Amino acid sequence: MAIRNQPYLKLYIQDFATDEKLAECSAAANGVFIRIMCLMHKSEEYGKILLKQKDKQSDKQIENFAYKVAKYLPFDFATVSKSLQELVEEHVLTIDGDCLFQKRMVKDAALSDTRGESGSKGGKNSVLKKDFAQASIEAKGKDFAQAKSQASTEYEYDNEHEYDTGKGGMGETPRTEFPKRTRRPTPRQADEGTLTIRMESDWDAHLKKYHDQSYYQSAAARTALKAIKAKLLHQAQEKLKAQGKDQNEHDDHLIIETWRSILANYAKWDDFDKKFTELTQINNRLSNIISSIKNHGQNHGQFNGHKNGATLTGRVEPAPHGTDPGRF
């Protein structure tokens, strides 16, 4: 915090009590000095009082400053003028042109500004380093995910064995080529990345519509989205179970539709939940959000299901406008 914004005055007790120059001044001058220091603490330029053109009512600068500060002090003009004269003559305060200042306070302000500027630069460097480290981690994560995706799109083992028909030398046996290791695509793994992109796109459209900001893909957001997908997968399995279907026959379509239903029913969220813009917050409050939608729907005859809000089984609102229809 800048020294001028602090609610207290920085007074060095030992220096104040043993100041020989101040000791030469009267008791009234000491009281006026303390009051003037308080005014200097609140002034725009710390430690200084500037004389404006309207304050110049005399040919003597001390009287002009006395006129200016007297209206803020609990002393009459004569006391202020006489005390100010003493303080200037003993070099406790200094007048330079239209400026009245106290040297120690001006020095403290310069030191505070220097430290504040250095701290600001250090903070910016720390943020840059943190952002660089975060970008490096995300880049490595994307490279790993891409490599894993490429590996998962290979084909399964072939049943054919290829042999080298070339004849070896005397006493040698023909070399045998073992089958190459290939894999078939795994549908669930292939759809996982697409599902994440679709959910992120819906969330980005939601943020732009209701909060006027864009989605930032951070590691924390991806972790939260993974947890949200797990909860919505549970929602889909519960719905299949309620319909008497095999729970293993879940479809990503049910997950994305449940997600879009939650976002589309934003008007039915509690006011406390509507202010959230981070997926980590949505993940922590997901059950409460679903419960709010269900309770609102029950009050209006639109939703039905368990009272604790565990699942969404009723009619859902359409997906919010603004999502990219080409992805769905």
Burial of 20 (0-12, 13-18, 19+ CB in 10 A): exposed
Predicted TM-score of the model (pTM)? 0.37
* Model pLDDT, residue 312: 54
In order of 149, 218, 275, the CA distances from 207 in angstroms are 29, 15, 10
For residues 195 and 186, the answer to whether their CB atoms sit within 8 Å is no
How is residue 72 annotated by DSSP?
A: T
In a 3-state reduction of DSSP, which class is residue 182? coil
Angle among Cα 193, 194, 199 to the nearest 5 degrees reads 100
Average pLDDT in the 59-65 region? 89
**Per-residue pLDDT band at 186 (split at 50, 70, 90):** low
Please classify residue 225 by burial: count the beta carbons closer than 10 Å to its beta carbon, then call 0-12 exposed, 13-18 middle and 19+ buried: buried
pLDDT attached to residue 162: 42
CA distance 323 to 206: 9
pLDDT digits (tens, 9 = 90+) for 204-242: 999 888 988 888 788 888 898 888 888 888 877 777 777
| pLDDT beyond 50 at 62 | yes
Phi and psi at residue 11, to the nearest 5°: -115, 120
pLDDT, tens only, 262-293: 999 999 999 999 888 898 989 999 989 988 88
Q: Taking the CB of residue 142, how many other CB atoms lie within 10 A of it?
A: 11
Strand ranges (DSSP E) for the chain?
48-50, 94-96, 99-101, 162-163, 176-177
Average confidence score pLDDT of the chain: 76
- Say what the pLDDT of residue 127 is: 67
**What percent of the chain has pLDDT above 70?**
68
pLDDT of amino acid 38: 92
CA–CA dist 189, 176 (Å, integer): 34
| Amino acid 160: pLDDT | 42
Give the pLDDT mean for 69-74.
90
